[in-house]
Structure 1
């Protein structure tokens, strides 16, 4: 989910940069790209992936 949000932010940053839109300092293409990189780093780190450990599973012996 965070990877998809990062891709959307990268696309928005690309559109702002390609169209040479004049935005305020908060919504500059570089800042949006940095937000996308932060979300991508969280995605790669496994944040938001849910529980990966099977705590309720029974083990076969």
Structure 2
């Protein structure tokens, strides 16, 4: 789930950068990309992996 959110943020960051949209300093393409990298790191660490399969 976090990997999908990271992919969406990377796409938004690409659109901001490619269209040369001026935004404020908080919502710049670099900051959005860094948030996406953080979500991707959490996904790789195993946080937000989806349903937990229980043992029997």
TM-score calculated relative to the size of structure 2 = 0.90
Considering only CA atoms, is the larger Rg found in Structure 1 or Structure 2? 1
TM-score (norm 1): 0.83
Higher helix share: 2
The Cα of 1:48 is off from its aligned counterpart by 1.3
Instruction: State the match for 2:52 in structure 1.
Output: 51
1:1-61 residue pairs with structure 2 within 5 A?
Answer: 1-49=1-49, 50-51=51-52, 54=55, 57=56
Q: Summarize deviations over 1:10-37 as a string: whole Å, max 9, x none.
A: 0000000000000000100000000000
Unaligned runs of 5+ in 1: none
Deviation at residue 52 of structure 1 after TM alignment: 5.2
Q: Which runs of 4+ in 1 moved over 2 A?
A: 50-54
Change (3 A) 1:41 1:52: farther
Give the gaps of 5 or more residues in structure 2. none
CA RMSD of aligned residues (A): 1.2
